[in-house]
């Protein structure tokens, strides 16, 4: 029989209700080092464990006997940043502590950059703490589905994302002189030639439009894909939804899933924008987002 032979003992994530320790953290550790981890539930066992026993304890989730919790109250617990220790069911636990001030608590309803409505900035910070995210305030009030229904803060303008959902962004200094010299001319999906990418972003800010790049170079009369050159990560598709006629789409670039259902201009419902893009690339015809949410009386693709 083979044994792990730690100098001291084993460290575990927690001790269950059956008093057995579970979720192995480390071995060859003494009790002081194990219990100094930033966790209120960490537990320690000093018994030598055979390979067979470790397999049963860890991989079969049976748990290790002869162990004990490091902390029985909050006085010895060091929680991670933005968390605090509280007693729950007779044991200490590290919970979120977003440290809201009075202004955050009394801020009123806000819409987060995750497109969810929160009763206050403090509630949003609690959500960030619990999920480890960094959601910020997009604008005050209930989240809307149209720029016409919302008022952006000072110096911010409403634009739509790829899901046709509105956001407030700061449009100032998008096109400084240092940026305009770095890019070549590009043709937008509105068939207007722009000096660079930031110029398109700037135009979007004030038009509430979703102008995109059709292809590099000045706009011209294009009757087929062979007349424009796309980069190695892009593919030319027919663009019936714009005045430019054709567009280089990023068909070979990774696409992060959003799980936001949208309705395409072909009146098909897609589980998210990535699925709609993939169909556009497959058929070599661009599909745009008509509106967020499913199309009426249509199936999801």
Whether pLDDT at 82 is above 80:
no
Q: Which segments of the chain belong to CATH 3.30.60.30?
A: 83-140
* Whole-number Å distance between alpha carbons of 187 and 216: 6
Cα 152 to the center of its chain, rounded Å: 22
Has residue 301 got a pLDDT over 80?
A: no
At residue 125, the pLDDT reads 86
Instruction: Please give the pLDDT value at position 143.
Output: 92
DSSP tag of 56: I
The C-alpha atoms of residue 29 and residue 12 are separated, in whole angstroms, by 11
DSSP state of 148: G
Of the candidate CATH numbers 3.40.50.300, 3.40.50.150, 3.40.718.10, 3.90.290.10, the domain formed by 9-76 belongs to 3.90.290.10
CA distance 80 to 65: 28
Quote the mean pLDDT of the chain. Answer: 83
Predicted local confidence at residue 178, as pLDDT:
47
Of residues 104 and 184, the one with the higher pLDDT is 104
Q: Are 64 and 21 in contact (CB under 8 A)?
A: yes
Q: What is the mean pLDDT of residues 153-171?
A: 84
Q: Which of 98, 87, 81, 8 is closest to 40 using CA atoms?
A: 87
The pTM of this model reads: 0.60
What span, in angstroms and rounded, lies between the C-alpha atoms of 34 and 32?
6
Determine the Cα–Cα distance for residues 207 and 87; give it in Å rounded to an integer: 54
Q: Which residues pair with 169 in a beta bridge?
A: 157
Mean pLDDT along residues 288-296:
91
- Residues in Cβ contact with 113 at an 8 Å cutoff, skipping those fewer than 6 apart: 135, 136, 137, 138, 167
Question: Strand, helix or coil at 92?
Answer: strand
CB 98 within 8 A of CB 125: yes
pLDDT, tens digit, for every residue of 267-286? 999 999 999 999 999 999 99
Could you tell me the pLDDT band of residue 170, with boundaries at 50, 70 and 90? confident
What confidence tens digit (pLDDT) does each residue in 24-47 have? 888 878 888 888 887 888 999 887
- Please report the DSSP string for 252-285 in residue order: TS--------EEETTS-EESSHHHHHHHHHHHTB
DSSP-assigned letter for residue 300: B
85: which strand partners? 94
CATH 3.90.290.10 in the chain is located at 9-76
**How many Å apart are CA 227 and CA 246, to the nearest integer?**
10
Q: Is the pLDDT of residue 213 over 50?
A: yes
Question: What residues form DSSP beta bridges with 193?
Answer: 187
Name the β-bridge partners of 9.
29
* Locus of tokens 């605090």: 84
pLDDT band of residue 300 (cuts 50, 70, 90) is: low
Residue 179 has a pLDDT of 44
- Count CB atoms within 10 A of the CB of residue 218: 12
The highest-level CATH class for domain 83-140 is: alpha beta
Per-residue pLDDT tens over the stretch 92-138: 888 888 778 888 888 899 999 888 999 999 888 888 876 767 788 88
């Amino acid at each position: 029989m083979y044994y792990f032979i730690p100098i001291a003992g084993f460290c575990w994530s927690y001790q269950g209700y059956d008093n057995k320790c579970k979720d192995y953290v480390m071995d060859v550790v003494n009790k002081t080092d194990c219990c100094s981890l930033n966790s209120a539930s960490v537990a320690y066992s000093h018994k030598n464990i055979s390979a067979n026993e470790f397999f049963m304890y860890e991989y079969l989730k049976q748990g290790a006997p002869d162990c004990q919790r490091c902390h029985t109250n909050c006085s010895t617990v060091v929680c991670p940043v933005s968390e605090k220790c509280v007693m729950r069911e007779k044991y200490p636990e590290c919970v979120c502590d977003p440290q809201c001030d009075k202004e955050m608590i009394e801020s009123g309803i806000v819409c987060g950059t995750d497109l969810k409505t929160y009763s206050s900035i403090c509630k949003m910070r609690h959500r960030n703490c619990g999920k480890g995210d960094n959601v910020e305030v997009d604008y005050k009030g209930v989240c809307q589905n149209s720029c016409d229904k919302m008022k952006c803060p000072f110096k911010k303008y409403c634009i739509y994302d790829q899901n046709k959902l509105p956001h407030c962004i700061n449009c100032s200094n998008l096109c400084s002189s240092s940026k305009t010299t770095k890019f070549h001319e590009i043709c937008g999906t509105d068939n207007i030639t722009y000096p660079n990418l930031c110029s398109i972003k700037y135009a979007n800010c004030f038009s509430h439009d979703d102008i995109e790049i059709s292809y590099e170079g000045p706009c011209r009369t294009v009757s087929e894909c062979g007349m424009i050159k796309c980069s190695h990560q892009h593919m030319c598709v027919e663009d019936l939804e714009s005045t430019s006629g054709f567009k280089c789409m990023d068909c070979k670039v990774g696409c992060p899933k959003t799980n936001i259902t949208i309705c395409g201009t072909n009146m098909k419902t897609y589980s998210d924008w990535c699925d709609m893009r993939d169909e556009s690339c497959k058929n070599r015809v661009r599909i745009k987002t008509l509106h967020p949410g499913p199309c009426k009386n249509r199936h999801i693709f």
